[in-house]
Amino acid sequence: RAKSEGRGTYRFFEAAMGVEVRERRMLEHGLRHAIARGEMRMVYQPQCHVAGGEVTGFEALLRWRRPGHGSVSPAVFIPIAEESGLILQIGEWVLREVCREAAGWPRALAVAVNVSAVQIHHPGFVQTLHDILMETRLDPARLEIELTETALIRDPERALATLQQIKRLGVGIAMDDFGTGYSSLSNLRAFPFDKIKIDSSFIRSVDRNTQTAAIVRSVLGLGRGLDLPVLAEGVETEQELRFLEAEGCQGMQGYLIGRPAAITEFHDLTHGTPAAKHGAVRAA
Ligand code: C2E
Ligand code: MG
Ligand code: MG
Ligand code: MG
């Protein structure tokens, strides 16, 4: 069908693709210097107990502000960083930045860092992690690495060995975005995860859609059976929170409690008394 529409159409598509490729190349070029130029920063999103509501820690999320272009979503630049290999340098910067920051909080809150498949499969990853923990003196028990299942499928045996080494450092491992992509229940048993994070797509409408509710209930049952705490991502409404509370979900994060923000916005949590509850964070 495309052929019958003639050369003009073909040229149009080719040109459109050319723009995409150029844009991608420009982003990659920008990424190459983004850290050195101070364009990267971390934001933090609070995580809390569903029952009781006290904040237990934060997930660290990367932000890139491109001069003259505004901020670029990690959903756009992380894949480019992965394909170009730049994620190794960027990911190391992220780990060091987050560990250094967290080590300076008077309160020993937990901190979660997203780690890409490319990093996990890089032979130097565990050594780098070890060095950063030594250098920043962060208690490894406060650090959690978030991995998606796609990080495991390329070379499961090697991934398992790496995850076991990470555990030996005393660092926790969470399965991120559970229920999306290449989800396989056997991954939960085969790999030493400490936590399941239910993807936000399942939390959306969980209080209104019986099918979504059934899926979330079954993940919570799985967590109970495997003795793994479950954290719900992307909780936006009181109704979603009430459902999770009724069904015994342990942890949550989402706009309802707090949006990702500079850590200074959470000064009361990182420096204050451990009394903060849902309401106290929401004001941030
Ligand atoms: P993720 O690890 O699953 O992070 C959760 C995403 O959901 C974040 O998007 C967060 O801002 C967003 N979010 C949190 N609460 C809510 C909510 O209530 N509603 C909605 N609609 N969204 C919510 P963000 O920051 O854009 O990051 C997107 C993805 O990029 C992350 O998904 C993660 O896979 C990746 N990423 C972010 N920072 C890093 C990093 O430092 N390293 C690596 N390798 N990947 C990162
Ligand atoms: Mg995550
Ligand atoms: Mg996630
Ligand atoms: Mg994600």
Which atom of ligand 1 sits closest to the CA of residue 197?
A: 3
pLDDT at 14: 55
Number of CB atoms found within 10 A of residue 176's CB? 24
Please list all protein residues whose beta carbon sits less than 5 angstroms from ligand 4, which is an ion: 177
Q: Is residue 86 a contact partner of residue 32, using CB atoms and an 8 Å limit?
A: yes
Which residues of the chain are under the pLDDT cut of 70? Answer: 1-19, 183, 274-284
Q: Using alpha carbons only, what angle is made at residue 25 by residues 19 and 27, rounded to the nearest 5 degrees?
A: 100
pLDDT at 274: 61
Euclidean distance between CA atoms 244 and 205, whole angstroms: 12
pLDDT at 12: 57
pLDDT at 184: 75
Euclidean distance between CA atoms 216 and 201, whole angstroms: 11
pLDDT at 8: 54
User: In 3D, which of 140, 112, 139 has the Cα closest to residue 126?
Assistant: 140
Residue among 41, 45, 58, 61 whose CB has most ligand 1 atoms within 8 A, to mutate: 61
Euclidean distance between CA atoms 147 and 160, whole angstroms: 12
pLDDT at 275: 55
